[in-house]
Amino acid sequence: MSKKEQIVKVASKYFSEVGYDKATLDDVAKEVGVSKAAIYYHFKDKFALYEAVLCSRFKDLAQTICEIDVLVPIKALREYVEKFGNFLLENPCFSAIFAREMADGAMNMPQSCTEQMSQILKKLSAILQEGEAQGVFEKENPFMVQLMIVSTLVNYRTTRKLRITVMKNLNEIKNIDAGLKDIIPNLANKIIKALQC
Amino acid sequence: MSKKEQIVKVASKYFSEVGYDKATLDDVAKEVGVSKAAIYYHFKDKFALYEAVLCSRFKDLAQTICEIDVLVPIKALREYVEKFGNFLLENPCFSAIFAREMADGAMNMPQSCTEQMSQILKKLSAILQEGEAQGVFEKENPFMVQLMIVSTLVNYRTTRKLRITVMKNLNEIKNIDAGLKDIIPNLANKIIKALQC
DNA sequence: CTCTATTTACTTACTCGTCAGTAAGTTTAG
DNA sequence: CTAAACTTACTGACGAGTAAGTAAATAGAG
């Protein structure tokens, strides 16, 4: 792996763990084993590094989502939830970054990523419309449906520690906390059920 | 309103708008019309001010949620969603703070607030269990249900600008973006439908 | 083929702004 | 008179960004 790729990888870890602002380039540089100035050799500034972290992954996500075939809406919706979920599983750094972007109104979201997000939502919109046309789904606000899926998945990941703390508070230690992997099909079923006529 | 209360009010605005880290006490002091040191007269440090901002509101939220009568589970679940939603409407600063806390795993969440959250979840758990006992709801993971409700509502607020940008990208300008107020009953219906046997 | 010029990929050692937090002094209310 | 409620003016740390220098690879001219 090139130094540049290593920088992106380590940076994505820090951005994920502590957020854009608290992530310091000194730390990233230290962990990669280069000087901070080396980062500035490869990237214009901190934000450009953040962009590099986000954009490639977003592109991948938009890619797989766009492959979904709309024709059988219920199946397509299940696929949508599963693909999103699996993406988060395969890109563990992403949940936190995504969640933070949603939390602060996508303030740091690079434009290209916003465009990818639009494509993703467009697909969901198409699934819902096809479902409506076929009489299997009711008319829906696609933004809300999107949030019911995405924010649930993303925040399920980020709130793991909180859930464990809360479980202790409620003395429900028996109830072993389910991982995201187990949640995905469950959420898919719930969403489908919620939207069906 | 006392100076101390004014500080809390203005601080909650800044914490909400830019997050804990980017919110500066200099800005808060300036807007209140006191010196920064005045804040330190009333609060031990920045985190103590944040605690003050969070705790009182969380207490209120836990209060109303706890008033819900569990006996008719479907009604209770609708009330749960509505009370949460109305709380966010009445406390506009809260969505962003809440969303950020969820996004970074409740890293800055004061313990007392975590306890309030436990109480809130306990109520939802009770509603779901009563529903299960009465045979109206299926057995559920209360954490996931909680997230489907809370993260959807909270992020619906925080992503308003993003939604508008995305709408422009998709040329769906006709589709006027619905406010949180209109979303609440809709979400309540969806959640109930998703959980019903 | 080899000597020089240039570019690539960095390093060291700094600056500069920002911001939490503080020490010490001052005003105001009871 | 004294305690509460401040203010002014500062410190100290941290972190983004930079200037200037360097070693090694590569290209190009003779």
What was the pLDDT predicted at B108? 86
Tell me if A1-43 shares its fold with A55-195. no
pLDDT at B174 over 70: no
pLDDT tier for residue B107 given thresholds of 50, 70 and 90 = confident
pLDDT at B175 over 90: no
What was the pLDDT predicted at B50? 96
Other beta carbons within 10 angstroms of residue B169's beta carbon come to 17
Segment among A106-110, A135-139, B95-99 with least mean pLDDT: A106-110
What type of residue sits at position A166? V
Chain B closest CA to A100's CA: distance in Å?
Answer: 5
What was the pLDDT predicted at B176? 76
Q: Map out the domains of chain A as residue ranges.
A: 1-43, 55-195
Interface-testing mutation among B95, B140, B152, B180, with chain A (most A C-beta atoms within 10 A): B152
Contact yes or no for B144 and A183 at CB 8 A: yes
Judge whether B102 and A103 are in contact, CB under 8 Å. yes
What was the pLDDT predicted at B170? 84
Contact yes or no for B166 and A114 at CB 8 A: yes
Q: Is the CB of A34 under 7 A from strand C?
A: yes
- CA–CA separation, B165 and B137 (whole Å): 38
Q: Which CATH number is correct for A55-195, 1.10.357, 1.10.20, 1.10.10, 1.10.3470? A: 1.10.357
| Residues whose CB is less than 8 angstroms from the CB of residue B73 and which lie 6 or more positions away in sequence, other chains included | B127, B128, B130, B131, B134, B136, B137
- Region A101-115: mean pLDDT is 92
pLDDT tier for residue A174 given thresholds of 50, 70 and 90 = low
Homologous superfamily of A1-43: Homeodomain-like (1.10.10.60)
Q: Is the CB of B25 under 7 A from strand C?
A: yes
Q: Is A196 helix (H, G, I), strand (E, B) or coil?
A: strand
pLDDT at A101 over 70: yes
Three-point CA angle B88, B184, B60, nearest 5°: 30
CA of A27 to C1' of C13 (A): 18
Q: The whole model's pTM is what?
A: 0.94
What was the pLDDT predicted at A108? 87
Cβ contacts (< 8 Å) between A173 and chain B: which residues? Answer: none
pLDDT in tens, B116-156: 999 999 999 999 999 999 999 999 999 999 999 999 999 99
What was the pLDDT predicted at B1? 83
Judge whether A47 and A113 are in contact, CB under 8 Å. no
pLDDT in tens, A49-86: 999 999 989 999 999 999 999 999 999 999 999 999 99
- Region B107-111: mean pLDDT is 88
Average pLDDT, chain B: 94
Chain A closest CA to B125's CA: distance in Å?
Answer: 10
